């Protein structure tokens, strides 16, 4: 942006003469605030540009004027916190760094409680992940490394007791999967190798007496 140049305001209208977009230009590059309206005349988007690139906060609105998305950009890339809503209710909150998802991501259910919490690094799932039943009751936990499941995936019942333990390696079930009854006793053991279930070992032969 040339600090000495005079900015041009551009107003774009539809065929009925209604304002659909208002922005400022430095030459041909959008700068500063840009407002967009929908066909009914409601404000649909408020964005900020710098040297022709999105830079700063971008908000999208529904017909009632409530935000449905609040995003942040730096030099044209998503950068910072991002939130999504439905009629004012949170749907998802996450973070971006230079255009890649990075940090905690939380998904919300209809009751406003989290249904999932995951961690990202450089655009890939990386770190602890948890899923929840309605009301916030823990349902499953897992760990990701560079986008792939590693280690135990644990499933829980409504009281928080482990009902299944499934080891993973390189994104595939690998090792002995153990299932538990409500009393905590083991009910089943199944062996997997690289995601393939292995045949159960035959029972030991009976000795002749």
Give the residue extent of every domain in the chain.
1-101, 105-209
pLDDT of residue 208: 67
Task: Give the integer Cα–Cα distance in Å for 80 and 74.
Answer: 8
Q: 69 CB contacts (<8 Å, ≥6 apart)?
A: 58, 59, 60, 82, 83, 84, 85
Q: What is the pLDDT along the chain (209 residues), one digit of tens a residue?
A: 555 468 899 999 999 999 999 999 999 999 999 999 999 999 999 999 999 999 999 999 999 999 999 999 999 999 999 999 999 999 999 999 999 999 999 999 999 999 999 999 999 999 999 999 998 999 999 999 999 999 999 999 999 999 999 999 999 999 999 999 989 999 999 999 999 999 987 777 777 66
Task: Give the integer Cα–Cα distance in Å for 206 and 209.
Answer: 9
User: Is this structure's pTM higher than 0.85?
Assistant: yes
Q: Is domain 1-101 given the CATH code 3.90.930.1 in the classification?
A: yes
Taking the alpha carbons at both ends of the chain, their separation in whole angstroms is 96
DSSP of 161-198, one letter per residue? Answer: -EEEEEEEETTEE-EEEEEE-TTS-EEEEEEEETTEEP
pLDDT of residue 203: 73
pLDDT of residue 209: 60
Are the C-beta atoms of 143 and 151 separated by less than 8 Å? yes
Task: Give the integer Cα–Cα distance in Å for 24 and 196.
Answer: 60
Please give the CATH architecture assigned to the domain spanning 105-209: Single Sheet (2.20)
Task: Give the integer Cα–Cα distance in Å for 24 and 45.
Answer: 15
């Amino acid at each position: 942006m040339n600090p000495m140049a005079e900015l041009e305001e551009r107003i774009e209208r539809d065929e009925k003469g209604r304002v659909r977009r208002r922005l400022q230009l430095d030459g041909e590059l959008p700068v500063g605030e840009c407002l967009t309206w929908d066909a009914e005349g409601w404000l649909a988007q408020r964005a900020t540009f710098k040297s022709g690139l999105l830079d700063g906060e971008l908000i999208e609105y529904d017909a009632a004027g409530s935000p449905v998305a609040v995003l942040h950009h730096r030099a044209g890339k998503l950068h910072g916190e991002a939130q999504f809503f439905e009629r004012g209710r949170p749907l998802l909150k996450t973070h971006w760094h230079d255009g890649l998802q990075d940090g905690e991501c939380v998904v919300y259910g209809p009751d406003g409680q989290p249904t999932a919490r995951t961690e990202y690094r450089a655009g890939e799932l990386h770190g602890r992940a948890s899923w929840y039943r309605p009301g916030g009751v823990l349902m499953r936990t897992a760990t990701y490394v560079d986008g792939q499941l590693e280690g135990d995936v644990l499933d829980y019942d409504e009281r928080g007791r482990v009902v299944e333990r499934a080891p993973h390696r390189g994104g595939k079930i690998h090792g002995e999967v153990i299932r538990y009854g409500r009393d905590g006793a083991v009910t089943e053991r199944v062996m997997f190798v690289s995601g393939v279930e292995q045949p159960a070992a035959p029972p030991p032969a009976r000795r002749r007496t």
